[in-house]
Structure 1
Amino acid sequence: MRANRLAVLAAACLLAVPLVGATTEAIHSEEVPLWPEDSQVLKDGIRELAGETWAFTRPTLLVYRPHTKSERAAILVFPGGGYKALAIGPNSTIGPNGAEVCRWLTDSGITCVLVKNRVPNTGCNWNKKTRRHETPRVPMALQDAQRAVSLVRFNAAEYGIEPDRIGVMGFSAGGNLAVLSSTAFDSRSHDPFDDVDRISSRPDFAIPVYPGHLTMEHKNKTPKAVAAQELNTDIVVSKQVPPTLLVHARDDPVDPVHYSEVYARELGKAGADVKLIVYETGGHAFGVWKQGKDSDRWTEDAIRWLREIGIL
Structure 2
Amino acid sequence: MQRLTGKEHAVTQPSLLLYSPGVRSSGAAVLVFPGGGFKALAIGEHSTLGRDGADACKWLTDAGVTCILVKYRVPNTACNWNRDTRRHEQPDVPMALQDAQRAISLVRHHAAAYGVDPGRIGVMGFSAGGNLAVLTSTRFGIRAYAPIDEIDQASSRPDFAIPVYPGHMTMEHKNKTPKDVAARELNTDIVISARIPPTLLIHAKDDTVDPVHYSEVYARELKKAGVDVTLYLYETGGHAFGVSKQGKDTDRWMDDALGWMKGNKIL
Partner of 2:15: 60
Q: Is the 8 A contact 2:9 2:43 kept in 1?
A: no
Quick one: structure 1 residues 55 and 96, their matched pair in 2 at CA, closer, same or farther if it must change by over 3 Å? Answer: closer
Match of 1:28 in 2: none
Q: Which runs of 4+ in 1 moved over 4 A?
A: 52-55
1:165 counterpart residue number: 120
> Which residue of structure 2 aligns with residue 308 of structure 1?
263
The answer as to 2:55 corresponding to 1:100 is yes
Report the residue type matching 1:213 in the other structure. Answer: H
Number of the residue aligned with 2:141:
186
How far did 1:12 drift? 4.8
Query: Partner of 2:82 in structure 1?
Result: 127
Q: In structure 2, do the counterparts of structure 1 residues 135 and 151 end up closer, same or farther at CA, with 3 Å as the change threshold?
A: same
Quick one: distance in 2 between partners of 1:53 and 1:104? 25
1:32-59 residue CA offsets vs partner (Å, 9 max, x unmatched)? xxxxxxxxxxxxxxxxxxxx99742210
Instruction: Confirm or deny: 8 A CA contact 2:171 2:186 kept in the other structure.
Output: yes
| Alignment match, 2:67 | 112
What letter is aligned with 2:165?
A: Y
CA distance in 2, matches of 1:169, 1:92: 16
TM-score with structure 1 setting the length: 0.84
Residue 233 of structure 2 aligns with an amino acid whose one-letter code is V
Identify the residue that residue 253 of structure 2 maps to in structure 1: 298
Alpha-carbon separation, structure 1, partners of 2:9 and 2:20: 30
Could you say which residue in structure 1 is the equivalent of 2:3?
13
The root-mean-square deviation of aligned C-alpha atoms, in Å, is 1.4
Q: Which runs of 5+ in 2 are unaligned?
A: none
Question: Quick one: structure 1 residues 98 and 53, their matched pair in 2 at CA, closer, same or farther if it must change by over 3 Å?
Answer: closer
User: Structure 2 CA distance, aligned partners of 1:13 and 1:231?
Assistant: 28
Matches of 1:223 and 1:187, distance apart in 2: 31
Where do 1:17-96 residues align within 5 Å? 55-96=10-51
1:13 CA displacement: 2.5
- Whether contact under 8 Å (1:54, 1:120) holds in the other structure is no
Structure 2 counterpart of 1:307, which letter? K
Using the alignment, how far apart are the partners of 2:263 and 2:10 within structure 1? 40
Partner of 1:241: 196
Measure, in 1, the Cα distance between the counterparts of 2:256 and 2:245.
Answer: 14
Counterpart of 1:262 (choices 192, 208, 217) is 217
The residue type equivalent to 1:127 in the other structure is: N
2:139 is aligned with what amino acid? A
2:264 partner letter = I
Identity %: 70
Gaps of 5+ in 1: 1-10, 16-51
What is the rounded CA distance, in whole Å, between the counterparts of 1:245 and 1:147 in structure 2? 22
What amino acid is aligned across from residue 32 of structure 2 in structure 1? V
Aligned to 1:92, the other structure's residue is in SS state coil
- Secondary structure, in 3 states, of the residue corresponding to 1:283? coil
Query: Counterpart of 1:182 in 2: which secondary structure?
Result: helix
CA distance in 2, matches of 1:60, 1:14: 20
Task: Give the aligned residue type for 2:84.
Answer: K
Matching residue of 1:198? 153
Query: What is the DSSP-based 3-state SS (H/G/I as helix, E as strand, rest coil) of the residue aligned with 1:276?
Result: strand
Confirm or deny: 8 A CA contact 2:35 2:126 kept in the other structure.
yes
Q: How far 1:198 sits from its partner (Å)? A: 1.3
Q: Which is further off, 53-62 or 140-149?
A: 53-62
**Would you say the 8 A contact 2:9–2:41 is kept in 1?**
no
